[in-house]
Homo-oligomer: A and B are copies of this chain.
Amino acid sequence: MTVLARKLANFSPVNDKDRRAIEDLFTVEKRYEAGSDIVTEGSVPPAVFTIAEGMACRYRLLADGRRQIMSFLLPGDLCDLHVFVLKAMDHSIAALAPTRIASAARDRIIDLLVYHPRVSAGLWWNEMQEHAILRERIVGLGRLDAAGRVAYLLCELYWRFQAIGMVRDHRFVLPLTQPDLADALGLTPVHVNRILQRLRQQELVEVGRRSVTIQDLERLQEVALFSNRYLHLGGAPEEIRSYFDQLEAERQRLERNGT
Measured CB to CB, the residues of A under 8 A from B are: 11, 44, 58, 60, 62-64, 66, 68, 70-71, 80-88, 90-91, 106, 110, 113-114, 117, 121, 124-125, 127-128, 130-132, 134-139, 141-143, 183-186, 225, 229-230, 232, 234-237, 240, 243, 247, 251, 254, 257-259
Contacts and interface: CB of A to CB of B under 8 A. Distances in A.
> Which secondary structure characterizes the binding site on chain A?
helix
A225 B63 contact: yes
Nearest 5 Cβ contacts at the A-B interface: A142-B186, A82-B124, A141-B141, A258-B258, A90-B230
B257 A127 contact: no
Given A117-B110, A127-B82, A237 B87 contact: yes
Contacts of A183: 142
Contact of A143 (B62, B81, B117, B128): B62
Contacts of A113: 113
Contacts of A236: 85, 87
A71 B106 CA distance: 29
Contact of A139 (B68, B185, B258): B68
